[in-house]
A and B are shown apart, each in its own frame.
Chain A
Amino acid sequence: MVTKAAEPDISARLGGLRLSVPTLMGSGCYGSGEEYASLVDLAQLGGVVLKSVTRLPRLGNDAPRLVPVASGLLNAIGLQNPGIESYLASDVAKFADRPCAVVGSVAGFSVDDYAFVTERLAARDEIDAIELNISCPNVGTEGETFACDPDLAERATRAARAATAKPLIVKLSPNVTDIAAIARVVEAAGADALAVINTVRGMAIDVDRVKPKLANVSGGLSGAAIRPIAVLAVWEVARAVRIPIVGQGGIETARDALEFVLAGATAVSIGTGNFTDPRVPLAVASGIRTYLAERGIATLAEIVGSANPGFRGAR
């Protein structure tokens, strides 16, 4: 890649995690990164958030797990994963030579799960940071409970914080009345950054077969359909906390990503957008550079939260 001296600096910092490009690939959408290596030059990504891992293996939900809907996608995968022990033995080593940041994602069903899996995963050199998935909507009520209850959100975060000194990102759910209130307790509990938002709960019904389209009945809605919900969530969280925010929800273009940045996100995450076109992350990074260059702005950090008068974070 040719880098001109005058090119704007679009790097981003999430606590101790430095991203050369402000684009993370959303957990669950990008596997371990290697699945996409034949479609995308991983060196042009900020980082990959790995698929969530739990303490015990999970077979995941029955099929069908996906339903395309207007401007988005409903999914209910159900956290299929081999469990932390097998994951450490056979999967983690594959991340050692990633040309971008690698963020491990931890899901759980108890405070102790979060502590245990975070400690085990973060101990590995291949993992640069941890994202705490306290907001999976597709594993009964228990998975998302942590992001919907301030007390549980705080305890899960505190437990993970105690388990690692690596940068800790906590992923929040939009399926709450007051996301800013959850954000505050998670910040106070020691999170280095917040991922805003996970999917929005939804469902679809097959009117010919008279039954829900997903085997799990309900799922998480992602894609362009949820972008305005996500931008507002970032806007509100950015007025409530000082730690950096990773904005996510339906980002498909640089202008989409810039909405999140101007609302207060330090970096962005792309999930479903990769399913529209695997080149989306590259176009987002390139478009952000162009936007800054055209306005004579030297760094992306300068414009974080600049549309949001209540932005409290550091730039």
Chain B
Amino acid sequence: MPVLETPPLVHETVVSDRREPFSDIVIIGLYAPKIAREARPGQFVMAVTPSGERVATALGIYEAAGDRISLMLVVVGPRTRELALLERGDRLVLAGPLGNGFQLQALGKNVALIAGGVGLASLLLPAQRLLADGARVHLYYGARTAGALVDAELFEAAGAGVSLATDDGSRGHHGYVTELLAREGRTHETIAACGPSPMLRAVGTLARTLGVRAQVSLEETFACGVGACWGCVVPLERSSAQAPAFPPVAPGETRDYVHARICKEGPVFWSDELRW
């Protein structure tokens, strides 16, 4: 094997542990001291698919402590299926940590976290940091069924309150997780959310109704993960502080937004600045 120089953000990691709390939801622990040390809440890694035959997969950094990080994934296609087959001792190449995380300061001292499915993965580090900084944190966590609500106890252990919802009513509120918060009214200063796009759109609507601001972490297909390919864009207000430096509007252009790269300018955006 040729010796390849390792640039700063590419890491050869080793699987230290693996659990599958529910069918097709897998949590992979990795020996990755540098990422564990440097990861900010809400950042992600690009995981090189073990076969080397498919585009790398973006995954939020779930846990980070000591020399270990973990990644939570749900098997939805060939790439995640490959990653889900990793076993203790296997190697995994990661690029990261990448992207901008949550702006924790701006979230204030009384924060509602809203998680949909494995979107939960991007909210544990923010929860731990917010709680450590003295904020009150409540997790609203929705999934399709009771078994798919995994690891809520990690949030409880960190000191967060937890409310649950399932699509099939098998545990907690029967319906959407956003309905839980809507029912309570304005009980939090801000919202931080991660989950599928339809849920995040609903979070945006809810935040507007409640008169609070929400930071949402978008889940998208990335190709490069570093802002090079402009494949993962989302329409964003031109006035957003996160709008990429993008100059003059072309003659005849009717769209009044900019395209921000989710991987580079995001993945976390203020929901009231998104134009999706």
Decide if B232 is an interface residue (CB 8 Å cutoff): yes
Are A272 and B231 in contact (CB-based, < 8 A)?
no
Are B223 and A35 in contact (CB-based, < 8 A)?
no
Are A82 and B246 in contact (CB-based, < 8 A)?
yes
Are A276 and B230 in contact (CB-based, < 8 A)?
no
Chain B window 1-40, contacts with chain A (Cβ cutoff 8 Å), 1 for yes, 0 for no: 0101101111000000000000000000000000000000
Decide if A58 is an interface residue (CB 8 Å cutoff): yes
Stretch in B52-60, B120-128, B200-208 with 4+ CB within 8 Å of A: B52-60
Are A276 and B251 in contact (CB-based, < 8 A)?
no
Say which residue of A59, A71, A224, A275 sits within 8 Å of B223 (CB atoms): A275
Range class of the A interface residue count: 35 or more
Decide if B233 is an interface residue (CB 8 Å cutoff): yes
Interface centre among A57, A90, A252 (most CB of B within 10 A): A57
Are A275 and B55 in contact (CB-based, < 8 A)?
yes
Are B53 and A224 in contact (CB-based, < 8 A)?
yes
CA distance A86 to B222 in the complex (A): 27
Given the interface pairs A39-B9, A59-B255, the reply to whether A277 lies near B56 with Cβ below 8 Å is: yes
Are A65 and B233 in contact (CB-based, < 8 A)?
yes
Chain A window 31-43, contacts with chain B (Cβ cutoff 8 Å), 1 for yes, 0 for no: 1100111111100
Stretch in A110-118, A121-129, A261-269, A280-288 with 4+ CB within 8 Å of B: A280-288
Residues of B within 8 A of A90 (CB): 245, 247
Are B4 and A56 in contact (CB-based, < 8 A)?
no
Decide if A279 is an interface residue (CB 8 Å cutoff): yes
Are B227 and A35 in contact (CB-based, < 8 A)?
yes
Decide if A60 is an interface residue (CB 8 Å cutoff): yes
Decide if B93 is an interface residue (CB 8 Å cutoff): yes
Residues of A within 8 A of B212 (CB): none
Residues of B within 8 A of A277 (CB): 48, 52, 56, 93
Are A59 and B250 in contact (CB-based, < 8 A)?
yes
Residues of B within 8 A of A275 (CB): 55-56, 223-224, 229
Interface centre among B5, B79, B228, B276 (most CB of A within 10 A): B228
Range class of the B interface residue count: 35 or more
Say which residue of A30, A59, A276, A279 sits within 8 Å of B259 (CB atoms): A59
CA distance A60 to B253 in the complex (A): 10
Chain A interface mostly: loop
Chain B interface mostly: loop
Decide if A73 is an interface residue (CB 8 Å cutoff): yes
Using CB atoms, name the residue of chain A closest to B255.
Answer: A59
Say which residue of A36, A38, A223 sits within 8 Å of B55 (CB atoms): A223
A82 to chain B, nearest CB (A): 5
Given the interface pairs A59-B253, A68-B54, A277-B48, the reply to whether A31 lies near B247 with Cβ below 8 Å is: no
Residues of A within 8 A of B249 (CB): 57, 59
Given the interface pairs A31-B227, A57-B247, A272-B223, the reply to whether A63 lies near B56 with Cβ below 8 Å is: no
Are B235 and A62 in contact (CB-based, < 8 A)?
yes
Decide if B221 is an interface residue (CB 8 Å cutoff): yes
Are B224 and A35 in contact (CB-based, < 8 A)?
yes
CA distance A90 to B246 in the complex (A): 10
Using CB atoms, name the residue of chain A closest to B10.
Answer: A39
CA distance A36 to B228 in the complex (A): 7
Are B55 and A73 in contact (CB-based, < 8 A)?
yes
Are B232 and A272 in contact (CB-based, < 8 A)?
no
B51 to chain A, nearest CB (A): 9
Decide if B95 is an interface residue (CB 8 Å cutoff): yes
Given the interface pairs A41-B5, A272-B55, A277-B52, the reply to whether A57 lies near B231 with Cβ below 8 Å is: no
Say which residue of B10, B54, B55, B247 sits within 8 Å of A83 (CB atoms): B247
With A36-B224, A276-B52 already in contact, 17 other A-B pairs whose C-beta atoms are closer than 8 Å = A31-B224, A40-B7, A51-B228, A56-B251, A59-B249, A59-B250, A59-B258, A63-B234, A70-B78, A71-B53, A71-B54, A83-B247, A90-B247, A276-B55, A277-B48, A277-B56, A279-B4
* 27 pairs, CB–CB < 8 Å, chain A vs chain B: A29-B228, A31-B224, A31-B229, A35-B224, A35-B226, A35-B228, A37-B7, A39-B7, A39-B10, A41-B7, A57-B248, A60-B233, A63-B233, A63-B259, A65-B232, A66-B231, A67-B221, A73-B223, A77-B230, A82-B247, A86-B248, A276-B48, A276-B52, A276-B54, A276-B55, A279-B10, A290-B2
